[in-house]
Structures are given as structure tokens and as C-alpha cells.
Amino acid sequence: MKRGSRQRYLAIIDSLYAQGAQAVILGCTEIAMLVSQQDTAVPLYDTTALHAQKAVAWALTDSSS
């Protein structure tokens, strides 16, 4: 991973926030490997993590009822 890539993504996130975005969706699996919530104050939503959490919750739901 190149440091410049992380800095570029963070600049884009900051720009979106400055334009009124309230959060940023990390809609590609590789982006979450590049930037994390620790890197910015702008709320980030990692779709890979969200889908995995919901899949586990669904799998653990009692389906016999």
C-alpha cells in the first residue's frame, strides 16, 4: 500500500465532507484496507463489515419459529 494512496483517499473524504457529506460509504472491499475510522473524524461505513455482521446475525437467528 502506498502512503500517497491513503492520503489521496483521505483528501477525497475531507472534500466530500466539506461539500456537505455527513458520512462516507466504503463500497469497495479494498478501500477499507486503505483507510479506517481512526484516520478521519468523518463517519465511515464499511459495507463488507456491515454485510458480514448481518450475515452472522441472520445465521444465528432461530429459524424454527
Q: Give yes or no for a contact between 11 and 32, defined as CB atoms under 8 angstroms apart.
A: no
Q: What are 14-44's pLDDT values in tens digits?
A: 999 999 999 999 998 889 999 999 999 999 9
Q: Is the pTM of this model over 0.85?
A: no
At 3, the pLDDT band (50, 70, 90 cuts) reads confident
DSSP H/E element including 45 = strand 44-46
Domains identified in the chain, total number: 1
Whether the per-residue pLDDT at 52 is higher than 60: the answer is: yes
The range of the structural domain enclosing residue 48 comes to 3-60
Return the CATH number at 47: 3.40.50.1860
Q: Which residues does 3 contact at the CB level (< 8 Å), separation at least 6?
A: none
Q: Please indicate, yes or no, if residue 33 is contained in any of the structural domains.
A: yes
Residue 54 belongs to a domain: yes
Q: Beta strand 24-26 with 44-46: parallel, antiparallel or unpaired?
A: parallel
